[in-house]
Amino acid sequence: MNCVVCKMGTTVLGTTTVTLERGVTVVVIRHVPAHICENCGEVYLESEASKQVMEIGQAAAKAGTVVQIQEYRAA
């Protein structure tokens, strides 16, 4: 896939760390599968990974978590 940000790079499969912030809650999810631009480093998540990351963030915020760090686990 071509990068829509820099328009010069192509993406390769890899993993990234996603950080979400909502109010006082900060969630860090490590090793999330993603397409990453070889030129600029822009990250693109697949829809399933994006959905799961958002669910993790919502659950942490709802529980009143202040800081949570975890490894990504495919559903």
Q: Are 18 and 29 in contact (CB under 8 A)?
A: yes
Q: What's the CATH code, domain 11-71?
A: 3.10.20
Give the pLDDT score at 10.
96
Give the pLDDT score at 75.
73
Provide DSSP, 16-36.
EEEEEEETTEEEEEEEEEEEE
pTM here is 0.89
Nearest to 25 by CA among 73, 75, 70, 64: 64
Q: pLDDT tens digits for 7-17? A: 999 999 999 99
